Structures are given as structure tokens and as C-alpha cells.
Structure 1
Amino acid sequence: MKRKKSASQSKQTQPASDPDSESDIMAIDVDADETEPSNETNKRSFVWLHFELAKDKKHALIDPKRAERISNSQTDIASWAKSGKLTQKVQLNSETYRTALVNMIAECNLAFKTVEKPSFRNLLRLFNEEAMPLVNSTNRDSIATHLSQVFIQSQEQIKMEHLAKQEFISFTQDAWTAPNMTAFMGVTAHFINKKFEMVDLTLSIPHVQGELALILCLGLTLLLIFL
């Protein structure tokens, strides 16, 4: 908006010898709200899509319940940092590698020669190429020997950690013949732990030969070993 000065103000501020001067016009910056009435109505801000008025007229930057959960978790981390122990990563060596292989072979019912397959070794090469000398030195004979050691150790572990702590144990045995006419006998133990859960343990699956009476005697002998 521009406003012309009055004649008296022009004479006092500007000399009469400069009729072409534009200094008799003074520019005034005026807000639009003061000059022209706005036809637009007040709109609710978009921020209210993310906020709501509280009944107690109190404001918070975070949900109080969530803040309490965060505080508790931070307290747990702080207490763990003072007393917690870091779990050390299992070191890769001949013992740990062969034990992992034995567990996989037993669980998946694989042949010992699997560890000598080129495809199996190429798979391990993708995970850790530095372990290839250890992988290449492992064969079916070394796995069979390590399996026997793990089996003996597992027997002692079952007796000490499970059977010795139970008051009542049920033993079962069953004999069957495989399709290749090889006879086996399985000996199992069953008991209910303190959580009222049924626990089943396989104690032994020996290869048996001879008459049924001898097989049953062998089963009783195996039971006595674990008692």
C-alpha cells in the first residue's frame, strides 16, 4: 500500500526546486490481515492427527506406560552389565567340529561317508574357507571313532544328570529285525520330571544275535549297567 504525504509535510521535507522527485510518496508495509478481510476460515492443524486433548489437561511427550517399560528394560540392562557374563563363542577345532558332525549324522540318519563327499566339503567352504584343512582331514574312520567316544560320554551324562536324580523310572526294551535281516534291541527309560513332563531317553540300541532268551538277558544286563 502506498500513501501520499500531505502538502504541508512535502514542503517541510523536500525542497521546492525538485518537482519531479518521488520522495513525496512513502511506502508503508501493512499486513494483509489489517487491510483486507480474509474470506478463509480457520482450519484445524494437521498436527492434531497425531495428538489428542487430555482430560487432565496435562501433556507428555511419551506414553507413561511405555516410558515405564523402557525404564525397566534399561534397569535390567544396567544390572546385567554389572553381574552378567558374556557367552564365549565356541572355538572351532577338531573336537568341536567332529562333535557337531556326529550330532548331525545321528539326527539326520546319514552315512559316515557323507563327510568325504565333495559337495559337502564345498558347502562348508562357503561358510569358512579357513577351516578347510580341518574339513579335508576328517574322514569316515575318524567320525566313527569320535562317535564311539561321544556315545560313552553320553551314557555317563544320562546317568548323572537324569537317572540318578529320579525316584521312579520305567525301563522298556524291544527287539526287531531290519530289512537286511540284522537284529537290534532298543532299551529306553521313561520318567516324569518335576514339571510333570514325560521324559524319554534312549539308553542303548545294540546289535544282537542268537536266541530270544539270550537277547532278553542282554537287555537285562544293559539295564543293570545304567542302574
Structure 2
Amino acid sequence: MLEAANPDAARAIWTSRTSVARYVFRVYDHLKPRIIMALSQSLSKIHISFDSWTTKGSKRGFLGVVAHFVNTDGKLVDLPIALPQLTGAHSGANVTVNAVN
């Protein structure tokens, strides 16, 4: 039905369990040089913030890492730079270990 409405739809549908992962890695490879450039051209110090959370049922934990800086246009930018999966407890010491890695 989707293909009948739009013949290009078949190419856009992810067909395997690894499709999303491959897509994310391609986006990462594409954006990494741009992020490095934006950070290197910052007009301010770069501040880093962290936010940890778990999925429902506490099965998986994640640590969001965000860089905050003023870009070359003088605008404040909040740029997500990492989202590692947390291992272990959400104690301050463990979050620090995960953030450093």
C-alpha cells in the first residue's frame, strides 16, 4: 500500500535489524567533522553538561553529554555530542567513569 502511494517508499523502509545502526553510523561519520569544526571555532569557552536517565523498567541507562558554547554568529549553541549507555549504578562515581570513557 505504501509503495502504491509513493513508488520511492520501498527504498526508504528499513528492511533489517541493522538498518538503523548503519544509518546512525553514516550520520555520525557525516556530522563528526562539522561538530569538530563548530567546537574549534567557538567564540567562548566550551561548557559540558550531563544528564543521565533510564528506560522504563530500568533496563538500560544512558548519559547525555551536551556541549554549550557561542558560535561564530554570536549565538548560544547546545550541541549533543555523546549518548553512551551507562553500565552499573547511577552513582556520581560511576557516571564520572562513564563520562570520561
TM category, shorter: 0.7 to 0.9
Match of 2:40? 164
Correspondences of 1:61-72 after superposition (within 5 Å) = none
Post-superposition shift, 1:171? 0.7
Matching residue within 77, 83, 91 for 1:205: 83
8 A Cα contact 1:176 1:185, kept in partner = yes
Equivalent AA in structure 2 for residue 201 of structure 1: L
Counterpart CA distance in 2 for 1:175 and 1:134 is 36
Post-superposition shift, 1:208? 0.6
Match of 1:8? none
Matching residue within 52, 66, 84 for 1:175: 52
In 2 relative to 1, CA 186–133 (structure 1 residues): closer, same or farther, beyond 3 Å? closer
Counterpart CA distance in 2 for 1:206 and 1:159 is 18
In 2 relative to 1, CA 177–194 (structure 1 residues): closer, same or farther, beyond 3 Å? same
Greater RCO, 1 or 2 (C-alpha within 8 Å, sep 6+): 2
Equivalent AA in structure 1 for residue 5 of structure 2: L
Match of 2:73? 195
Please give the TM-score of this superposition, normalised by the length of structure 1.
0.37
Please give the TM-score of this superposition, normalised by the length of structure 2.
0.73
Paired positions, count: 96
Aligned-partner SS, 1:154: helix
Counterpart CA distance in 2 for 1:194 and 1:188 is 18
In 2 relative to 1, CA 132–194 (structure 1 residues): closer, same or farther, beyond 3 Å? closer
Match of 1:18? none
Higher helix share: 1
Aligned-partner SS, 1:196: coil
8 A Cα contact 1:190 1:200, kept in partner = yes
In 2 relative to 1, CA 132–193 (structure 1 residues): closer, same or farther, beyond 3 Å? closer
8 A Cα contact 2:41 2:71, kept in partner = no
Equivalent AA in structure 1 for residue 57 of structure 2: N
- Measured on the aligned residues, the alpha-carbon RMSD in Å equals 2.4
Counterpart CA distance in 1 for 2:19 and 2:36 is 26
8 A Cα contact 1:155 1:203, kept in partner = no
Correspondences of 1:63-102 after superposition (within 5 Å) = none
Correspondences of 1:214-225 after superposition (within 5 Å) = 214-221=94-101
Counterpart CA distance in 2 for 1:179 and 1:155 is 30
8 A Cα contact 2:41 2:72, kept in partner = no
Post-superposition shift, 1:205? 1.2
Alignment gaps of 5+ in structure 2: none
Q: Post-superposition, which runs of at least 4 consecutive aligned residues in structure 1 deviate over 4 A? A: none
8 A Cα contact 2:61 2:86, kept in partner = yes
Q: Identity of paired residues, percent?
A: 24
